[in-house]
Every structure is written in structure tokens, then in C-alpha cells.
Amino acid sequence: MISLTLEPTAPPLPATADRPMVAAMLRATPGRWTLLGARANAASLRQMSYSLRTGVGGWTDFGRGFETSMLSLGDEHRLYVRYMADGVAV
């Protein structure tokens, strides 16, 4: 018998006011990939990914040390992020 587990829909991306808390939580768990959220528009999410990694725009609490990865599942584009302490998972 085959057993399937379906992933739930990804959460919305964090509001600007919640981003400092999210950045602090990620710094507390270096090396762990976390699903940050999803969007229907891949280009918009790609720009957000760049802003997060460079700490510009509304993502000033992020920047150096953060890595991102995008995954497209049909019409949903997900953004995963992790913090790397000095570029090495702890």
C-alpha cells in the first residue's frame, strides 16, 4: 500500500514589523533551512530573496550571513532561508 503525505500551503511572508523577530529566530538556529513563505509571482519572490540576502529594502534585519533558496511547486513559489554563522553551519 502506498502512503502519501501532502504538504500544507506555505504561510504568507512575514510582515515588515515581524521581520526583526524572524531574523533573530533564524540567527538562534544557524544552518537550519526554514520556509519563510510563498508568493504566486516568481520574479517578485526572486527580488525579495536578493533583498533579504543583501539586507536592503524592508529586510534590513537580514543581510550578511543569510542564504536563500527558492522552490516552485506549480503556481506556488516558496522562499526558504537559513542563517550561516561565518558561512559555516553550526
For the chain, list residues with pLDDT below 70. 86-90
Query: Is residue 3 domain-resident?
Result: no
Domain with 30 in it: 16-83
Residue 44 lies in a domain: yes
In a domain, 4, yes or no: no
In this predicted structure, what is the pLDDT of residue 10?
84
Angstrom CA distances, 83 to 6, 8, 19, 33, 87, stand at 27, 24, 14, 8, 8
How many separate domains does the chain show? 1
Q: What is the pLDDT of residue 30?
A: 94
The pTM (predicted TM-score) of the whole model is 0.84
pLDDT at 71: 93
The per-residue pLDDT for 88 is 56
Q: Is residue 38 part of a domain?
A: yes
What is the structure's pLDDT at 9?
80
Residue 48 in any domain: the answer is yes
pLDDT score for 5: 79
